[in-house]
Amino acid sequence: MTLHPIAARLRTEPGCLSRALPVLEPPPGADPSAARAAAVLVPVVLHPEPTILLTLRTATLSAHAGQVSLPGGRIEAHDPSPEAAALREAEEEVGLARETIEIIGRLPGVFTGTGFRVTPVVGLVTPPFSPRPDPREVAEVFELPLTQLTDPALGPRLEDGAAYGSRRPRVWVVPHDRHVIWGATAAILASFAIVLREV
Q: What is the pLDDT along the chain (199 residues), one digit of tens a residue?
A: 556 667 766 765 555 554 455 445 555 666 667 788 999 999 999 998 999 999 998 866 555 556 899 999 999 999 999 999 999 999 999 999 988 999 988 888 888 877 888 999 999 998 888 889 988 889 899 999 999 988 888 888 887 655 444 555 678 889 888 988 988 899 999 988 888 877 5
Cα distance between the two ends of the chain: 10
Which of 90, 166, 163, 165 is CA-nearest to residue 124? 90
> Which amino acid does the sequence have at 126?
T
β-pair type (110-111, 116-125): antiparallel
> The pTM is what?
0.86
Instruction: Give CA torsion, residues 158, 159, 162, 167, to 10 deg.
Output: 70
| Total length of the chain | 199
Report CA Rg, the chain: 16
Instruction: Say what the pLDDT of residue 18 is.
Output: 47
Sequence-ordered list of residues with C-beta below 8 angstroms from that of 121, at least 6 positions apart, any chain: 39, 40, 41, 42, 82, 83, 86, 87, 103, 105, 106, 107
Q: Which residues does residue 40 pair with via DSSP β-bridges, in sequence order?
A: 72, 120
Instruction: Say what the pLDDT of residue 51 is.
Output: 93
Name the residue ranges covered by the structural domains of the chain: 4-198
Instruction: Say what the pLDDT of residue 13 is.
Output: 56
Instruction: Say what the pLDDT of residue 163 is.
Output: 45
CATH class given for the domain over 4-198: alpha beta
